[in-house]
Every structure is written in C-alpha cells, then in structure tokens.
Amino acid sequence: MTTRSETQSTLTHLLTEIEHRNPAQPEFHQAAHEVLETLAPVVAARPEYAEPGLIERLVEPERQVIFRVPWQDDQGRVHVNRGFRVEFNSALGPYKGGLRFHPSVNLGVIKFLGFEQIFKNALTGLGIGGGKGGSDFDPHGRSDAEVMRFCQSFMTELYRHIGEHTDVPAGDIGVGGREIGYLFGQYRRITNRWEAGVLTGKGQGWGGSLIRPEATGYGNVLFAAAMLRERGEDLEGQTAVVSGSGNVAIYTIEKLTALGANAITCSDSSGYVVDEKGIDLDLLKQIKEVERGRVDAYAERRGASAHFVAGGSVWDVPADLALPSATQNELTEADAETLIRNGVKAVSEGANMPTTPEAVHLLQKAGVAFGPGKAANAGGVAVSALEMAQNHARTAWTAQRVEEELAAIMTNIHTTCHETAERYDAPGDYVTGANIAGFERVADAMLAQGVI
C-alpha cells in the first residue's frame, strides 16, 4: 500500500511531465494542478487507481482537432480564424461540452475547459463524457450575416467529428441561441439528417429543452443555497455580487432575485454596474440579449439607483455572496482579500475556473464556503443531457419537469461533494469533494474498459 505522501510525490512528478509535454498552455497546467493536487488521498486509499498509466491517460485527450475557418465579412474581406475541438474523455458517454468564440481562445484554454468538463459531467451522474471546442473568432461588433457565415464555415469542418452518439457540442462564451441555430442549420444541410441530439442549447420549437438557457445560472444559485443551508442560513435577504452579463450571469441574477436575495452588480469587459435596488433584469436582458450592447447603457437608462464603474473590480463591492460568472481567473488573490474583509460568506463559481488558485486558498482558509465550478455550474450541462434525452425520445418535457430534475441533480451534486470531502478528511472542502467524486466515477469506467 502506498502512503499519501508517496502518492503525492508521484502526482507532483506527473504534473511536471504534463507541463513539459504541453508547453505554453498555462490554463491547462492550472486545471491539471487543481485536480491532481487533491487526488492523493483517494489514489493512496484505492490501489487500483495507482495502476500505471491510468492518470497519464486521463490527462491526455483522446483526440484533438485544429482546423482553418475562413469566412468573408460584409465588405467581402476574407478572414481566417482557427477552430478547435478537444475530445478529452468518452469513458462515460459521448464527448460533451460547449463551444467558445472569443479572441483569447487557444489550444491550452480549450484543453483546460475540456479537462474540467470530464469531472463536471461525471458529477451530474448522467452518461456524458468530456470535450470542449471553439475558435479565436470575436463575435463582438459582427453583423448577424457575418456570424452566420462564420458558423457555417466552422461547421463545414466540425461536422465530420461530431454526432449524437459521438460528440455533442453546446454554447459557451460567445455562443448562444443564435450561433447554435446557424451551426445546427449547416450540420443538417451537410449531412441531410435531422439529428436533433447533435447539439444542445437549440431553440424551443426545434428540439431545444425548456430551462436550458436558465440552467447554469439557476443551478449555481441552487448550489450556493445548499452550501448556505449546511451553515444554517438561506438566501433570503442576502446581498450578492455577480460578474458578467451573459447567459450565466443573467439567469444567476434571475434565480437569486426569485429566492429573495438582492443581486446588485453585473459586468462585462468594459467595467461593472452597481444597482443598489437590485439589477432590473428586463432592462439588462434588453441591452445584452436584444441590443447586444455594453453594461454602461444599463446605468444610463436605469436612473439614480445605478452607476457604472469603468474598469475596476466588481469584487470591490461589499456583499454576502459572490458568484463569478464571466471568465477564468477573474477573481484574484487581492479580490479574495477584499471579499473576506467585506465579510463574504460564500463564493460559488458560475464561470469555469474564475477564481485563481491563490484566491481559492485564501477563501477556504478564511472559512468562506467555496463552490468550485465543476460542481456549482454543472446544471447547464446536466440540462443539456436532459435535452439529448428528450431529443432521443422525440418528446418535450414541461418547464416544471426540467426544473425539478435540475434541482434534484444540483442537490445530489452538493451532497456527493460534501460527503466525499468528509470521507477523505476534508470536511467542508467542496474542491476536494468534487474532484475526488468526479475522478472516482471516470476512473472506474476507464479501468473497466481496458487500456484504450
């Protein structure tokens, strides 16, 4: 039997190898560290997990595709972007994970997201593997026609790698209902098949699940509420700071408000808005979803209760809860210090890896309840899997049914993470609980399926 410290040194050695084998991929290194640094107790306790090659296979994607995406803008100029799809692990089901369109996208970013996705999808308890994709295309300021031509060109290569039983993409940053529509149209045209389950996040009326747009934000709020309940508190009357103003942020604010909390901020890459009366969601949705504008327009139109701060950090705003819902590494060590000083009780990640490792450490040390993204934001992919189930059965569930399923899945994820952390001597540590519980499910399937 290997001891925890021997296992830890094997994992540390492996992390060094990962860095050498995958140069210039800092986000992937960060995600690998975050997971592997918590696995020593379970690998030491269960000798089958120490089998040579198991974790080495887990950190190497099954397949990585990089392709050219040429498209023409409205003036006829040709642009060339780069497309990615990383099919990381299919031990539990078809690869599943979103597509991100943002100028910061590169292979390392997609690999970090795909790696996280393996454990997140495992935690849902559903039959989905892990993958992620996207492009360095920037949709900001592009016309609908330009976005359509880009999506069509992207799918003209991607279609050969995906399928309802193979790999099922969805949305992420820069990819919402409009983009999924264009992508699905091109897939249908090329393949001459109505294969609804090949993409999730589709429009309602042509295969999309009710509550899919809401699911990530709603799920994160349910996870935050479950963490608070463990401490004998609830959401009623709590003040919340939320970053971002896209899909996840909007439905986080909606659910917080519905459950009696006061969500007072939102942000985008230009700055943040504070609204002491609570964010007016109709106005925010009009500006972000209909007009595709910037958040300063919210403050201009809202009146005296709101003001816009250009640049700066939304985490400077004092609150009981913080729900980062924009992008990776947006909540730093300095931000964590500010949040702690202002008495934050819980931080729950709607975005993927938004909190830097140093900030996570500080928050946990200060006794703040910390919900890692792979558990807290798993509601989105869970309802995507429910969308696949509805597509397969050629049926559509009511919103109430989907919401009940989502609530049950989030409760189950919270309980699993909580109990797993206790089982491995880390009570209250949801990071350890989520990583170990997700790992156990994937590792068991990989071991059963042989060395592939």
Looking at 96, 111, 120, 132, which residue is catalytic? 132
Q: What's the CA gap between 281 and 245, in Å, rounded?
A: 10
DSSP 69: E
| Closest by CA position to 376, among listed 216, 220, 229, 212 | 220
CB of 249 vs ligand NDP, minimal distance in Å: 6
Q: What's the CA gap between 90 and 76, in Å, rounded?
A: 40
321-323, strands of its sheet edge to edge: 262-263, 239-242, 321-323, 346-348, 369-371
CB of 43 vs ligand NDP, minimal distance in Å: 27
| Closest by CA position to 169, among listed 244, 85, 242, 97 | 97
Q: Which is nearer to ligand NDP, 131 or 380 (CB)?
A: 380
Beta strands at 63-72 and 78-89: parallel, antiparallel or unpaired = antiparallel
DSSP per-residue letters across 113-154: HHHHHHHHHHHTTSS-EEEEEEES---TT--HHHHHHHHHHH
User: What are the residues binding ligand NDP (CB under 6 A)?
Assistant: 171-174, 176, 216, 244-249, 268-269, 325-327, 350-352, 377, 380
Q: What's the CA gap between 27 and 84, in Å, rounded?
A: 16
Q: Which is nearer to ligand NDP, 29 or 132 (CB)?
A: 132
Instruction: Give me the residue whose beta carbon is nearest to ligand NDP.
Output: 246
CB of 425 vs ligand NDP, minimal distance in Å: 29
CB of 324 vs ligand NDP, minimal distance in Å: 8
CB of 208 vs ligand NDP, minimal distance in Å: 13
Is residue 17 classed exposed, middle or buried when 0-12, 13-18 and 19+ CB atoms within 10 A define those classes?
Answer: exposed
In this structure, the number of other CB atoms found within 10 A of the CB of residue 277 comes to 12
277 counts as catalytic: no
Q: Which is nearer to ligand NDP, 10 or 348 (CB)?
A: 348
Q: What's the CA gap between 432 and 164, in Å, rounded?
A: 32
CB of 447 vs ligand NDP, minimal distance in Å: 28
Catalytic residue numbers read 132
